[in-house]
């Protein structure tokens, strides 16, 4: 008897778990489908994912990037999906065993996702409609399925083994137990049939609606097609690449980083889809007049090309989080001038559609000698979607997180006292000039080198001061000057090389740069937080 009862109990739990998972699927499918109408900001999956990205501590983010690399966001989604399956299975069991605890759990999840949606920027009340509707649909389904599971399990056991069921009786409100055990068609069978029918229909519809919503969002987010069709006017002035700017050495970084190879760093779970025809840039805060311009207005101000090497604060010594591109854009100072920044302001908080913000010193944006721009083009094309389409900021000499806002929508003229940017409360400095540095591109520690003449080569950068010289030290035998290519300008990296007569064995290679102010790259290692790594890169190579 104990055995039979236990099996029934396990059966109840299993089907109850299924009812929870199906209810959660209906919740998400309804919400995702409605989010198509109310805007992607209303998607609970993306909002909760984005919320998790914002709250997880920095070391965990670094761990995720180190472990999953480019797939860090996919790993996050897989982890969230697993958590949803487990949590909803538990909610299903709770609802069957202790109603209405399961429905309460689902409602709490709904409230939390509404909170995640509303606290993310650009949120109006309407944006919460999909999550609310999804919660209601999921909760109704869970309540009904829970009742069927209980009805069929309890009545099934009642005639055969009344004693066995007695202990669990308090868990089931009497009202939910079908009253008439003597009915011609057993209530247990009816409940059973109703459960399977509802579960199958709900599960199948959730899958269909979910897949449908994905397909529709993929086709309507045809911003890629809008970008393809966009043709930018020819630049008024082009960057001239001086002769001798690019060395012909296998393994060295190309002078201009192709868009497809350009590093990408952002907190966006999905690439924001911003249509240039509806894009607006607002300049507000401490200004004489609030300015609001569209994409055509910006482009009409006149586009020029600028070569700038962008660098991430998370770039470790020897790392690859930097790239050099030819940007097409309008000086930020021209746009700020339309609004007229007021005395007392010392910072511009630039904001992205996705809520990211960067704090840039006002003077870096108004300085005539510094080419801070609002960029619309990158290496001869409109900005790629992942690099900020349609408009981003690029400021020579400042790390990306304090200057290079992608999918930009607002420039708020303010003060460092009054406002802080996304990364400031997360352990990074409010102000962060790029530290002068250098990198060995070839040879690499991994690949053995052949005995004989070897080019040791790489890049060095000191935006916006410029690199004066680069020195290489082989086996600590003293610093040798490297030959520099002709830099495009002081805002870009410069390529360098030395010729080395490599003898068999293992060797240490080190590199350091000196900028045009005479400052030598810092030798001591510093971590990336709070304002960028330092240290001379030192690699071990094997010569055969
Ligand atoms: N909207 C938005 N803009 C952003 C970021 C972000 O997370 N969100 N990251 C910044 C950081 S940390 C860097 S280093 C640069 C990277 O630009 P890229 O991805 O085009 O290389 O973008 C900056 N702009
Ligand atoms: Mo960055």
Q: What angle do CA 393, 328, 431 make, to 5 degrees?
A: 25
CA 49 to chain centre: 10
Nearest to 17 by CA among 99, 104, 96: 96
Q: Are residue 465 and residue 328 in the same domain, yes or no?
A: no
User: For ligand 1, is residue 405 a contact (CB within 6 Å)?
Assistant: yes
Distance CA 279, CA 335 (A): 15
Q: In this structure, how many other beta carbons lie within 10 angstroms of the beta carbon of residue 274?
A: 23
Same domain (yes/no): 72, 215: yes
* End residue of a domain, out of 426, 447, 480: 426
Each residue's pLDDT tens digit, 288-299: 999 999 999 999
d(CA 485, CA 242): 10
Residue 170: the pLDDT is: 38
| 322 alpha carbon, closest ligand | 1
Examine the domain organization and report whether 91 and 126 are in the same domain. Answer: yes
Give the integer Cα–Cα distance in Å for 475 and 473. Answer: 6
Tokens of 481: 């000057």
Domain at 535, CATH number: 2.60.40.650
Is residue 352 lining ligand 1, measured as CB closer than 6 Å? yes
Residue nearest to atom 13 of ligand 1 (CA): 400
User: Hey, is 510 helix, strand or coil?
Assistant: strand
In this prediction, residue 218 carries a pLDDT of 67
**Does one domain contain both 93 and 215?**
yes
167 Cα: distance to centroid of ligand 1 (angstroms): 60
The predicted pLDDT at position 73 comes to 73
Domain-located, residue 248: no
Based on the domain organization, do 264 and 203 belong to the same domain? no
Could you tell me if 330 and 448 lie in one domain? Answer: no
- The residue nearest atom 4 of ligand 1, judged by CA position, is 405
The number of domains in the chain is 3
Specify whether 402 is located in the same domain as 505. Answer: no
Are 137 and 263 in a shared domain? no
Neighbours of ion ligand 2 (CB under 5 A): 265, 312-313, 400-401
Same domain, 529 and 398: no
Count the alpha carbons within 13 Å of 273 in the hemisphere toward its beta carbon. Answer: 15
Atom 15 of ligand 1 has which residue's CA nearest to it? Answer: 400
**Residue 20 CA, ligand 1 centroid: distance in Å:** 39
For a pocket test of ligand 1, which of 61, 266, 323, 350 has the largest count of ligand atoms closer than 8 A to its C-beta? Answer: 266
pLDDT of residue 6: 76
| pLDDT at residue 216, as a whole number | 73
Residue minimizing CA distance to atom 16 of ligand 1: 265
Ligand with the closest atom to the CA of 356: 1
- For 461, phi then psi, to 5°, come to -145, 145
Our answer on whether the CB atom of 404 is closer than 6 Å to any ligand 1 atom is: yes
Is residue 231 situated within a structural domain? no
Residue at 161 is within a domain: no
How high is the pLDDT of residue 154?
65
Q: Cβ–Cβ contacts within 10 Å for residue 262, how many?
A: 18
Give pLDDT, residue 150.
84
356 lines ligand 1 (CB under 6 A): yes
The CATH number given to whatever domain includes residue 308 is 3.90.420.10
Burial 389-427 (b: 16+ CB within 10 A, else e): bbbbbbbbbbbbbbbbbbbbbbbbbbebeebebbbbeee
Residues of the chain with confidence (pLDDT) below 70? 1-2, 39-41, 66, 69-70, 120-124, 153-185, 218-221
Does some domain include residue 66? yes
Distance CA 77, CA 362 (A): 38
The pLDDT of residue 200 is 93
Centre of ligand 1 to C-alpha 266, Å, is 5
Q: Which atom of ligand 1 lies at the shortest distance from residue 407's CA?
A: 1
256 class by beta-carbon count within 10 Å (0-12 exposed, 13-18 middle, 19+ buried)? buried
Q: Which residue has the tokens 């530290």?
A: 435
Structural domain contains residue 174 = no
The token pair that represents 386 in the structure block:
């992942």
Bridge partners (DSSP) listed for residue 341:
287
Q: Does 234 reside within a domain?
A: no
Whether residues 509 and 539 fall in one domain:
yes
Beta carbon of 264 within 6 Å of any ligand 1 atom: yes
Q: Say yes or no: CB of residue 98 within 6 Å of ligand 1.
A: no
Query: Minimal CA–CA distance to 141: which of 184, 185, 85, 200?
Result: 200
Asked if residue 496 and residue 363 are part of one domain, the reply reads no
CA of 12 to the centre of ligand 1 (A): 50
Same domain, 60 and 207: yes
246, part of any domain: no
Give the per-residue pLDDT at 409: 98
The range of the structural domain enclosing residue 93 comes to 2-156+189-220
The three-state secondary structure class of 209 is helix
**Residue 165 domain-assigned (yes or no):** no
Q: What's the pLDDT at 75?
A: 80
For tokens 């609001």, the residue is 292
What residues pair up with 350 in beta bridges, in sequence order? 358, 411
Our answer on whether the CB atom of 267 is closer than 6 Å to any ligand 1 atom is: yes
The domain boundary, picked from 379, 398, 426, lies at: 426
């Amino acid at each position: 008897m104990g055995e039979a009862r236990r099996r029934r109990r396990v059966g109840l739990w299993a089907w109850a778990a299924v009812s929870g998972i199906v209810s959660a699927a209906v919740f998400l499918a309804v919400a995702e489908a409605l989010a198509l109408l109310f805007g992607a900001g209303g998607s609970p999956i993306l909002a909760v994912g984005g919320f998790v990205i914002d709250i997880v501590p920095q070391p965990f983010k670094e761990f995720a990037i180190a472990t999953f690399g480019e797939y860090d966001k996919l790993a996050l989604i897989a982890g969230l999906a697993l958590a949803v399956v487990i949590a909803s299975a538990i909610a299903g069991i709770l609802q069957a065993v202790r109603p209405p605890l399961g429905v309460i759990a689902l409602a709490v999840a709904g409230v939390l996702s509404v909170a995640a949606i509303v606290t993310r920027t650009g949120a109006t009340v309407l944006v919460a409609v999909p999550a609310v509707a999804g919660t209601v649909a999921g909760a109704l389904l869970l309540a009904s399925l829970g009742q069927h599971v209980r009805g069929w399990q309890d009545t099934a056991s009642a005639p055969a083994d009344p004693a066995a069921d007695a202990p669990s009786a308090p868990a089931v409100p009497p009202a939910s137990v079908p009253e008439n055990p003597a009915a011609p068609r057993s209530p247990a069978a009816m409940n059973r049939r109703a459960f399977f029918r509802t579960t199958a229909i709900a599960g199948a519809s959730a899958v269909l609606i979910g897949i449908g919503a994905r397909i529709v969002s993929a086709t309507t987010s045809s911003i890629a097609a809008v970008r393809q069709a966009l043709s930018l006017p020819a630049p008024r002035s082009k960057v001239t690449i001086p002769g001798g700017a690019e060395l012909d050495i296998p393994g060295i970084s190309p002078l201009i980083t192709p868009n497809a190879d350009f590093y990408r760093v952002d907190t966006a779970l999905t690439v924001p889809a911003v249509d240039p025809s509806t894009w607006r840039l607002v300049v507000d805060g401490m200004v004489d007049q609030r300015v609001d311009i569209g994409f055509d207005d910006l482009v009409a101000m006149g586009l020029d090309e600028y070569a700038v090497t962008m660098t991430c604060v998370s770039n470790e010594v020897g790392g690859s989080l930097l790239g050099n591109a030819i940007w097409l854009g309008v000086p930020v100072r021209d746009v700020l001038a339309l609004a007229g920044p007021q005395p007392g302001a010392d910072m511009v908080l630039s904001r992205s559609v996705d809520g990211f913000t960067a704090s840039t010193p006002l003077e870096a944006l108004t300085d005539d000698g510094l080419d801070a721009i609002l960029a619309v083009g990158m290496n001869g094309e409109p900005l790629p979607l992942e690099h900020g389409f349609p408009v981003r900021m690029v400021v020579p000499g400042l790390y990306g997180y304090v200057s290079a806002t992608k999918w930009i929508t607002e420039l708020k003229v303010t003060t460092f006292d009054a406002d802080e940017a996304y990364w400031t409360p997360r352990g990074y400095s409010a102000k962060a000039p790029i530290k002068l540095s250098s990198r060995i591109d070839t040879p690499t520690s991994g690949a053995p080198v052949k005995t004989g003449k070897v080019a040791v080569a790489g890049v060095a950068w000191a935006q916006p001061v410029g690199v004066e010289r680069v020195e290489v030290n082989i086996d600590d035998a003293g610093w040798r000057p490297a030959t520099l290519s002709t830099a495009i300008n002081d805002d870009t990296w410069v390529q360098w090389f030395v010729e080395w007569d490599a003898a068999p064995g293992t060797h240490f290679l080190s590199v350091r740069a000196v900028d045009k102010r005479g400052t030598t790259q810092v030798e001591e290692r510093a971590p990336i937080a709070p304002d960028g790594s330092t240290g001379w890169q030192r690699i071990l190579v094997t010569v055969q």
